Amino acid sequence: MQTGLHVLRAYATENEKLSSAIITSSPTFVMESEELAALNELRAIWKNTNIMITASIQYPNKLFVKIEVDPISSTDLIDHFELYVDDVAQRASLAPTDVQFSAEGFAGGEQYEIHVMAFPKDNLTDTEPISSNKRAFEIKRETVRGAPLISLAVSNEENIIFLMWAHIGEHISQYVVYVDNIETTTINEKDFNDFFGIQFHGAQQRKRYLIHVEALVKGN
């Protein structure tokens, strides 16, 4: 009998006899016990497979990832890997042999978490993808000669802006604060602290301000 869906019906060959009801059938495939045993063995190996990743960052925002499969023989059962960043698939499939790869384009000042998923080959039925461990990392903001790192703070007063920045790295003799490219405040070395905060009064709602801080390096 050919594979596929079949319609079976018996017809009467004598007068005044009715035909039987229509019966549909499809072939049933029975796997040999040896094949089933081999498949179950592969399923057991897959179930006990571990996927581990290690990662390192190359300045400023390039990530190098290495995948380790344990046991190494499970590599033959893998169809492909997929990279996830913050639990979002990156739509890029990696071959089982691509156990070292790089990724870039991460934003500075942000934290990320990555992992990979190993997907089984099609013949390994009734199995689930395997997730690796997760690795968290942070991409540092790129600064030039220790430029001030500034941030805005929320104020309970509608017309006050809090501007803060950190004193980092370089030997600075003076900070100058600009609002819309107009010099508004100067802080000299004698007034330095680990962190600086400036209040701007009279800020207008729904108005955009351009704020930046210049640092004068000592000796320049």
Over residues 107-138, the pLDDT tens digits come to: 777 888 999 999 999 999 899 999 999 998 88
118: β partners: 81, 130
The boundaries of the domain holding residue 122 are: 40-139
Sheet holding 100-104, edge to edge: 50-58, 62-70, 100-104
Residues 164-177 as b/e (b if ≥16 CB within 10 A, e otherwise) read ebebeebebeebeb
Query: Does residue 156 sit in the same domain as residue 128?
Result: no
Query: Does residue 133 sit in the same domain as residue 198?
Result: no
Quote the pLDDT of residue 181: 84
Q: Which residue has the higher pLDDT, 182 or 164?
A: 182
33 inside domain: no
Q: Which residue has the higher pLDDT, 88 or 194?
A: 88
Query: Does residue 98 sit in the same domain as residue 127?
Result: yes
SS3 content of the chain, % helix, strand, coil (to 5): 10, 45, 40
Query: Does residue 125 sit in the same domain as residue 154?
Result: no
Query: Does residue 134 sit in the same domain as residue 44?
Result: yes
Q: Which residue has the higher pLDDT, 106 or 130?
A: 130
Query: What would the two tokens of residue 197 be?
Result: 């905060």
In angstroms, the Cα distances linking 153 to 70, 136, 143, 172, 202 are 48, 27, 21, 23, 16
29 inside domain: no
Query: Does residue 120 sit in the same domain as residue 188?
Result: no
Q: In total, how many domains does the chain have?
A: 2
110: β partners: 139
Nearest Cα residue to 71 out of 41, 43, 96, 46: 46
Quote the pLDDT of residue 111: 85
The whole-angstrom separation of Cα 175 and Cα 189 is 8
At 13, the pLDDT band (50, 70, 90 cuts) reads low
In angstroms, the Cα distances linking 24 to 5, 12, 28, 32, 152 are 7, 18, 13, 25, 73
Query: Does residue 44 sit in the same domain as residue 135?
Result: yes
Residue ending a domain, choose from 118, 139, 160: 139
Residue ending a domain, choose from 85, 105, 139: 139
Residue ending a domain, choose from 95, 110, 139: 139
76 inside domain: yes
Residue 61 has pLDDT above 90, yes or no: no
Q: Which residue has the higher pLDDT, 69 or 16?
A: 69
200: β partners: 161
Query: Does residue 114 sit in the same domain as residue 156?
Result: no
At 50, the pLDDT band (50, 70, 90 cuts) reads very high
CATH number, domain at 212? 2.60.40
Residue 27 has pLDDT above 70, yes or no: no
Q: Which residue has the higher pLDDT, 40 or 109?
A: 40
Query: Does residue 135 sit in the same domain as residue 193?
Result: no
